[in-house]
């Protein structure tokens, strides 16, 4: 496990490697939400969105133990700009959602929540890495 944090007012980034990457990303999300004094629903939505997106990198991207994930949060007036980068196989959550549900694994409910609570504004896979840009509207902050 290796995690590092960079932060500026309103911006936070975590880089994580290894089997604790998912937990590190969720913990960083909770810290960011607390530091930004997000409302209860906004905190919950942001944590679930990050957890689902990062978990899907492992579930659908065949993530190995030494793969790197970075999550960056940027507080805007009415939204959180979220950037998730990784060095795994291509995985665009919009395509996964369109490919149907997997009843044995929750039926795709997590990706439906991500779609309901955020807007994927960009996805790019190149040079052995992926970048996902997401806007999470703030409801009660």
Domains of the chain: 2-137 (3.30.565.10)
Q: What mean pLDDT do residues 18-38 have? A: 93
pLDDT tens profile 95-112: 765 555 555 555 678 888
Query: Is it the case that residue 126 has pLDDT exceeding 90?
Result: no
Residue found under tokens 């997000």: 38
- pLDDT number for residue 60: 63
Higher pLDDT pick, 108 / 9: 108
- pLDDT number for residue 2: 46
> Can you read off the two tokens belonging to residue 77?
């007036």
pTM of the model: 0.84
Say if residues 59 and 105 touch (Cβ distance below 8 Å): yes
Say if residues 115 and 107 touch (Cβ distance below 8 Å): no
């Amino acid at each position: 496990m290796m995690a590092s944090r960079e932060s500026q007012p309103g911006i936070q980034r975590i880089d994580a490697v290894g089997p604790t990457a998912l937990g590190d990303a969720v913990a960083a999300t909770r810290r960011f939400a607390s530091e930004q004094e997000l409302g209860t629903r906004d905190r919950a939505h942001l944590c679930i969105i990050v957890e689902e997106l990062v978990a899907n990198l492992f579930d659908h991207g065949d993530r190995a133990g030494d793969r790197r994930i970075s999550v960056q949060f940027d507080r805007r007036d009415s939204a959180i700009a979220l950037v998730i980068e990784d060095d795994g196989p291509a995985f665009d959550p919009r395509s996964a959602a369109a490919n149907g549900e997997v009843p044995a694994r929750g039926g795709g409910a997590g990706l439906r929540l991500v779609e309901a609570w955020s807007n994927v504004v960009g996805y790019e896979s190149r040079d052995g890495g992926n970048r996902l840009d997401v806007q999470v509207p703030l409801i009660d902050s």
